[in-house]
Structure 1
Amino acid sequence: MKRKAEKQQTAAPAPVSAVAARKARMQQMQAAVSVENPSRGGSAEEPPSKKPRRTPEEEGQAQPASEETNVRITRSSRASGGRLKANKPVEKKERDPPVERDEKLPVQSPVPDAESRPDSDDEEEEQNAVVGETSVGVAPIQGDADAYETPADTPGLVQEFPLSKTRLNKSNIVYSDEHRLCVRIKEKMSLVLLGHYDLWVKRGVVSVMGAKLHPSPRLYRVYAPSTHSLPVIKCIAGVDGAAEVEVISCNSGIYRLKDLSPLYQRVWNGKNTSADKLTLKNVPSSTKRTFSVLYTSADDSFKRHLRPLHLEKQWSSAIKSLSQRGSRLKALICGPKASGKSTFSRYLLNHLLSPAPQTENNYCNTDGVAFLDLDPGQPEFSPMGQVYLAHLRSPVFGPPFSHPSLKDSHDGTIIRAHHIGASSPKEDPDHYVLATMDLMDRYRALLASYPQCPLIINYPGWIFGLGLEVATWLVRSLGLSDVVYMSEKGPMEVVVPLGQAAQEAMIPLTTLPSQPTDFVSRSSAQLRSMQLQSYFHMSRPAEINTPLWLDKPLSRTKPFHVQYSGQRQGIKGIMVMGSEIDPDLLHEVLDGSIVGVVAVESPRAILGQSDMPVMSNRNAGATENGHEDADVSMEDSSEPINPFIEGNVIRTPNEDLPYLFVGSGSSNPLDPKASRCLGLALVRSISVSSRQLELVTPIEGSAIRDALEQNHGIVLVRGQVDTPNWAISEDYYAARAAEKRHRDSVDKLKKNAESLDPQRQARVSATLKDRIRRASNVPWMTVIEDHASRQREAAEREKSLWKLRKKAYPGSDSEGDW
């Protein structure tokens, strides 16, 4: 809280305080908004994430026309989060041309296209944009932040901000080609790159996001998108005064997600910078790596607000002090929202996981670090709605959407997870505390195998009221070694009780300054959508150690076919967290939603049902292949449903769905000690005739098979997770991207004077247009055409041309000038 008072000082022409600089910037932004829309009273004193909701007409007038079409997702206002409803058709209107602004006011820069594929032409991409966004960022809509995933129209000041301290030249470039770049970085100098790449430290020691990397044959995958502060590669110890690192392009496929969602557009590197061109002299001009070297933020072709990821001295001192505790470290990181808790936790985690130099006996500490993530709204290594205990063995470089899960990863594993079903624990604090205590028990059990494993606990920004009571209770009961509070501004009603609890537990309380950012390109709701989309599209092939992302829409992905009724029933029950719903509405609530796949381990899984008999034995019958192979079923033997679930299941009258409800008024959740979450799934459809559910999920078939072999029942839990609007619009954006690629290929053939088959090109073009039409003709999505962008572009080109009118004859009235 009190975010404005904690903003760090930004670059300014004169040495003024951060508060004064921000106030002056906000006044300029207010002036710009008042000039553009004098009839609408809006305040620019809040960051983009606090914008008020606008009507569709206002949104159409104010939003920049950087795209030919815009997609809006409509949903039901049902309190229980029911099925998406059809929206009335919106009348298509052309937008009025914008009012010209004064040059002294902050003006939005022209919007280029999203980042291109490594082998595409950026100039053509910018001229043929499918969907773009402003350079300022994306703002949610208050009260319904995830209902619209559209770019923000908040004007901002694009300032030149220093990034790298190292300038590339012939003396520090060891070698380079179209895939790699090897450079020397002098001590105390740094290098900042935008994109995603593999980092190989060959000589010296460098620091990246808190980790100290020594020379080794290992490659570290680094994700540096523009949505977050950019990692800084800094030399802290060198050979002959310099470290030598090699940066290698990687093809992870994560950049392809831009073809499925506009939230992933303009995230990675754009056109080659001056430093890139210097290292790409002997290769074709169209060559582009998956990373770019930036000296300042002005080098970015998209003119985004790029900032380096630097730590304050107090943060660095605290990290060094905490890391000295070694295996005795059990630190709780807490503080207000947007204070830097996740960043500090990630830095501390990487610092503890920094590999030491190899010794003669090749000793390596394999105990790793335990990471207890108690923030269900913005988890680090899992999709939203979960709390979990992870065991990390290697530093991780990238934002949460670059590692949405740790399944079969050499970086670490998820020991145990629980489905909270909401972005905040305030929905059910009792269940949240029980899940926390169970995860702490699992950590104590982990110490039996890894006795030197420290613990980092990331607490959410729920720090007021009941959240403060939970935090102080955790401080008194978890046996911690340290408490870190991420704000020096208080408030005192939080710091004082927290300090008293730490004093009672006889542990130190460290207060650190928050480190927020003035500019955000994605809101919290949109970052959650990006992480969910990344979670469902990520895969980990067995033959490689790094993840791959697939750009196939979920509607074209092979689903699980699960029986929910009959002798081959695989789903034992369907729970809906929160208030009780009418069984007739279960189909509406479940269809098209995100659910937690929970394995029930004991008949005491539902709180208050401890007197139920022991769960009967069942034989698993899952297929041998993964979820993308042949149809996968989660079925057991033909034995009846065990009494634990059977006594609480209500069959819906029309669909025969097993509605599992226990409680009075609200549903009792599953006991964390007797259940665990396997992951999330998207209910793509419900077939009433065959009594089957179609589930799309990245959960491996082996995980479900192992749960069934252990006589665990599978229950689907429908919580209050954000509506998957990104999944609904994937087909539309994929069709637009396919049409654009076809258009670019035709233009390239014409440019090279190659032969074309007009009939074939016409058939392909007609097929793609029909695909776009079918993808946009769905009742829950409205496509708003925007033809004003072309008119504005034509007007801008008209202004930039020099015109000359000649005399028709001496003395003619048609006489003109430049």
Structure 2
Amino acid sequence: MKRKADKQQNSAFPTAPRSAVSAVAARRARQQQQLQQSDSSHDTAPSENQESEPPTKKARSCPERHLQDVPSNHTSLEGSRLAAPVKAISEDLAFELSNADAAEDDLSGSDEIIIDDHVGEEEGTDLRDNANQGTPSRISTISENFTLSKNRVRKSDIVYSDEHMLCVRLKEKMTLVLIGIYDIWVKRGVISLMGAKLHPSTKTYRVYAPSTHSLPVIKCVSGVEGFAEIELQSCSSNLYGLKALSPHYSRIWNSSKTVGDSTTLNGSFKRSFSILYTSSDDPLNRPLRPLHLEKKWSTTIKSVSRRAHSLRALICGPKGAGKSTFGRYLLNHLLTPAPDGNSDNLNGVAFLDLDPGQPEFAPMGNIYLAHLREPCFGPPFSHPNLESSRYGKIVRCHHIGATSPKEDPDNYALAIMNLFDQYRMLSAMYPRCPLIINFPGWIFGLGLEVATWIIRSTALSDVVYMSEKGPAEVIEPLGHAASEASVTLTTLPSQPVDLVTRSSAQLRSMQMQSYFHMTQPEGLSDPLWTDSPLIHNKAISVSYSGPRPGISGIMVLGNRYSPQVLRDIIDGSVVAVVAVENVSAIPGYSETEAKRDGDSHTEEEPTDAIDEDLIDDNGGSNVDDSVIPQSNQQLKSLLNNSITRCPNSGLPYLFWGAGSSTPLDPKASRSLGLAFVRSIDVSSQKLELISPIPSSSIREAINQGHSLVLVRGMIDSPDWAFSEEYYAARNAEQDFIMTQLSYTKRNKEEGHGKDDDETQKGQNEELRRLQQCVRAASRLPYLKVIDDASALHQNEGKPENGTWRLRKKVYISSDSELD
């Protein structure tokens, strides 16, 4: 396959460059036309169902309880937020620029995040990912009432209960749905949970059940004397704390006591989970759905799981068909074999995730091979990193630098080939390790070619296509390739989600934010999250020049940019930290030349460990060059020869290619993780990086003589990082106000008088201090807080100083628990 730039030059039908302004204007025109059509359809006749495949679960009313409005005096675990003095604002972020426009605007270096503090007129305003444009759509607050738990927990089913835990007996075929975060311990019987069959043991499993995804269903499969017994334990996970840094994380967990909780607890409610029988039991009135599988899905999972260690399954299909859900269920089913000894004892499961837009165990822009050991219960933002994780480890990772592989299909195909080579090495070590491949929704054109190439060349056992309705131009080539390779092709019905509360772009932001705030302390089985703004974290100061710099260069994927703008491109951006293993990673340097040059030098073995600190006082590497193999010293020399020093900043700009940048060869390079560029100190020639990459990984790479390169891709701009300080200050102010109101109300009810003047003075000073923090955070140069959203639209599209200035419109809400 030719590179993207060459294909564009040789195209028989060249297209004119797309104007960002015209794209935005055209999209608005389409939206207005759609709104007019929807209004006219409501006035004339009911609209027809346009869904290609309807949801498998239909709404049905609950005979015991009708849909009710949210009570106005409920108490929330997440904490009600006061609307004054800071006004409540709409619920979610909505980017009005498309991904391409956002990337182009981001690289221009003139971004300004606009926060709208306008009071939302309508409760329950959520967003759909409308044609990947992030346009807002309304979800009615009066939604259909879904049955979540088939049976209700009676007092006779409760073994013991208190404000922190609940032990219940479940009859066979009985289901139970919870929202929140909890640990589950199976004491007797067998239950199913997200595809896993959990048997009695001393092990507990952590479950993350937010409202952003369909809720997991606990089902009794078999029991002793017809019952299974489980213990549900509250968790003090500080993943809750991210709601103070982003509105995306607000209103997604359990809040006040529900009807199901009332039957299991008489005292104060402090649990991190709540029992739900129907969607109308939710105090926040969210569109909740149970995570049920289509019957044919369950049959297929059982069928392919019988292949055990010989299973090599490719899961593919169109966007939004349920590929990730099916893959998650299949993984959990394989990772929880029966303890009776009749099942095949697997050496874990290899998971090859080829979807850079929605990866399961890594932030966006990456594809990787993971070796998993335990089932995982939760959405991707609850496990964005497998470093020191109980679930497994990432064997090798490549940074594609985009949410879609079609940005550079050649590099994508090379990375896939390298990951397959890594799987062959892994299967040699663990011969009883099956393989699950998650393919992206890019199933047309070149994406289809890549999928058929995988089927023909990788000795698969199964191909699962997640749609029974074609199209024929996809099904026929897949079937033909499967027939040639003697691979079983199974088509399954799509299981789309009919209601969403977060768009795809917002879920990616949540996963990226979780990635940078997550830590895995040694000795703990579950991760922790920090709730302080990212810019307040301790940064790593890395030198980019001098005799022994910490990084060897900076690459920008995509088009070539002038070295003068490199500083603006990477400042405040997310970059990948890539370890260049040998000279064959450099584009244009063949393996034959690398082998010849390597044989001409006498290599010295690197040391097993480094006693010194990873980075010296000057921000450079603390590894003595004498312990680095000579071939890798040649790598450093070749990288230095390819560097263009940027004027004014001195940044080392690496670029290979003609019209577009040629990435490093995946055979000789790998991604260690992501880093946030907090600042660039030109005077000292240093970068300040914030990264969750453990120092042991960096130490190991440097110890092996690898060179570190920063790669700036085309992924979404980290707007979430720029607004964290503002949200933290505002939430601290609102927490203080709510605490004082609660304290005053309690004193009034108990008949106490007013506080003395000294206490009142201290409270007023603290409030003024918090309000000053909010004002200071709102005056940051990259942030603009406005009171009225109409001001955005009045000046929208107007030229400034004779030029068009595009801004990413960000509508950020208060996390108020609206009543």
The two structures have a TM-score, normalised by structure 1, of 0.80
- CA 634–160 in structure 1, closer or farther in 2 if over 3 Å, else same: farther
- 8 Å Cα contact 1:388/1:418 also seen in 2: yes
Cross-structure match for 2:339 = 357
Cross-structure match for 2:23 = none
1:82 pairs with 103, 107, 121, which one?
A: 107
Cross-structure match for 1:731 = 725
- 8 Å Cα contact 2:314/2:464 also seen in 1: yes
- CA 205–735 in structure 1, closer or farther in 2 if over 3 Å, else same: same
**What pairs up with 1:369-408 in 2 under 5 angstroms?**
369-408=349-388
Cross-structure match for 1:137 = 126
Cross-structure match for 1:715 = 709
**What pairs up with 1:629-708 in 2 under 5 angstroms?**
634-637=621-624, 642-708=636-702
- CA deviation string 1:398-423 (max 9, x = no partner): 11011001100121000000000000
Cross-structure match for 2:276 = 294
- CA distance in 2 between counterparts of 1:520 and 1:254 reads 21
**What pairs up with 1:461-500 in 2 under 5 angstroms?**
461-500=441-480
- CA 632–152 in structure 1, closer or farther in 2 if over 3 Å, else same: farther
- 8 Å Cα contact 2:92/2:248 also seen in 1: no
Letter in 1 for 2:159: V
- CA 280–626 in structure 1, closer or farther in 2 if over 3 Å, else same: farther
Alignment partner of 1:329 is 2:311: yes
**What pairs up with 1:413-432 in 2 under 5 angstroms?**
413-432=393-412
Letter in 2 for 1:709: N
- 8 Å Cα contact 2:105/2:111 also seen in 1: no
Of all paired residues, the percent bearing the same amino acid is 54
Cross-structure match for 1:532 = 512
- 8 Å Cα contact 2:548/2:620 also seen in 1: no
Cross-structure match for 1:541 = 521
1:209 pairs with 174, 178, 194, which one?
A: 194
- CA deviation string 1:188-230 (max 9, x = no partner): 1100000110000001000000000000000000011101111
- 8 Å Cα contact 1:181/1:246 also seen in 2: yes
Cross-structure match for 2:3 = none
2:765 pairs with 763, 766, 777, which one?
A: 763
| Equivalent position SS for 1:699 | coil
2:150 pairs with 150, 154, 165, which one?
A: 165
Alignment partner of 1:343 is 2:343: no
- 8 Å Cα contact 2:114/2:785 also seen in 1: no
- CA distance in 1 between counterparts of 2:785 and 2:148 reads 39
Letter in 1 for 2:392: G
Cross-structure match for 2:217 = 232
- CA 74–495 in structure 1, closer or farther in 2 if over 3 Å, else same: closer
- CA distance in 1 between counterparts of 2:743 and 2:118 reads 34
Cross-structure match for 1:563 = 543
- CA distance in 1 between counterparts of 2:614 and 2:517 reads 14
User: How far did 1:536 drift?
Assistant: 0.4
Letter in 2 for 1:85: S
User: How far did 1:271 drift?
Assistant: 1.1
User: How far did 1:68 drift?
Assistant: 8.5
Letter in 1 for 2:150: K
- CA distance in 1 between counterparts of 2:113 and 2:485 reads 59
Cross-structure match for 2:423 = 443
Letter in 1 for 2:264: T
Cross-structure match for 2:177 = 192
| Equivalent position SS for 1:526 | helix
- CA deviation string 1:174-196 (max 9, x = no partner): 11111100011100110000011
| Equivalent position SS for 2:697 | helix
| Equivalent position SS for 2:552 | strand
User: How far did 1:643 drift?
Assistant: 1.9
Alignment partner of 1:177 is 2:177: no
Cross-structure match for 2:812 = none
- CA distance in 2 between counterparts of 1:548 and 1:475 reads 40
1:591 pairs with 549, 571, 583, which one?
A: 571
Q: Which moved more, 1:217-226 or 1:564-573?
A: 564-573
- CA 369–176 in structure 1, closer or farther in 2 if over 3 Å, else same: same
- Structure 2: gaps of 5 or more residues: 1-48, 62-86, 627-632, 791-818
- CA distance in 1 between counterparts of 2:608 and 2:430 reads 32
| Equivalent position SS for 1:4 | coil
- CA 608–187 in structure 1, closer or farther in 2 if over 3 Å, else same: same
2:557 pairs with 551, 554, 577, which one?
A: 577
- CA 535–502 in structure 1, closer or farther in 2 if over 3 Å, else same: same
Cross-structure match for 2:487 = 507
- CA 644–557 in structure 1, closer or farther in 2 if over 3 Å, else same: same
- CA distance in 2 between counterparts of 1:347 and 1:68 reads 34
Highest relative contact order (Cα 8 Å, sep 6+), 1 or 2?
2
- CA distance in 1 between counterparts of 2:306 and 2:341 reads 21
User: How far did 1:316 drift?
Assistant: 0.7
- CA distance in 2 between counterparts of 1:622 and 1:571 reads 18
- CA distance in 2 between counterparts of 1:219 and 1:89 reads 44
- CA distance in 1 between counterparts of 2:383 and 2:118 reads 41
The two structures have a TM-score, normalised by structure 2, of 0.80
Letter in 2 for 1:547: P
- CA distance in 2 between counterparts of 1:481 and 1:68 reads 48
- CA distance in 2 between counterparts of 1:93 and 1:374 reads 39
- CA 10–237 in structure 1, closer or farther in 2 if over 3 Å, else same: closer
- CA distance in 1 between counterparts of 2:198 and 2:443 reads 35
- CA distance in 2 between counterparts of 1:621 and 1:632 reads 20
2:778 pairs with 776, 779, 784, which one?
A: 776
- CA distance in 2 between counterparts of 1:378 and 1:749 reads 45
| Equivalent position SS for 1:571 | coil
Cross-structure match for 1:551 = 531
- 8 Å Cα contact 2:315/2:465 also seen in 1: yes
- 8 Å Cα contact 2:210/2:252 also seen in 1: yes
1:252 pairs with 237, 242, 255, which one?
A: 237
User: How far did 1:86 drift?
Assistant: 5.4
- CA distance in 2 between counterparts of 1:564 and 1:200 reads 50
Letter in 1 for 2:431: P
- 8 Å Cα contact 2:308/2:346 also seen in 1: no
- CA distance in 1 between counterparts of 2:60 and 2:510 reads 36
Cross-structure match for 2:497 = 517
- 8 Å Cα contact 2:92/2:247 also seen in 1: no
Alignment partner of 1:67 is 2:120: no
- 8 Å Cα contact 2:543/2:618 also seen in 1: no
- CA distance in 2 between counterparts of 1:533 and 1:93 reads 22
Cα root mean square deviation, aligned: 3.0
- CA distance in 2 between counterparts of 1:398 and 1:596 reads 25
- CA distance in 2 between counterparts of 1:707 and 1:3 reads 52
- CA 152–310 in structure 1, closer or farther in 2 if over 3 Å, else same: same
- CA 305–72 in structure 1, closer or farther in 2 if over 3 Å, else same: closer
- CA distance in 1 between counterparts of 2:504 and 2:614 reads 32
User: How far did 1:66 drift?
Assistant: 4.8
- 8 Å Cα contact 1:594/1:718 also seen in 2: yes
- CA 288–624 in structure 1, closer or farther in 2 if over 3 Å, else same: farther
Letter in 1 for 2:559: S
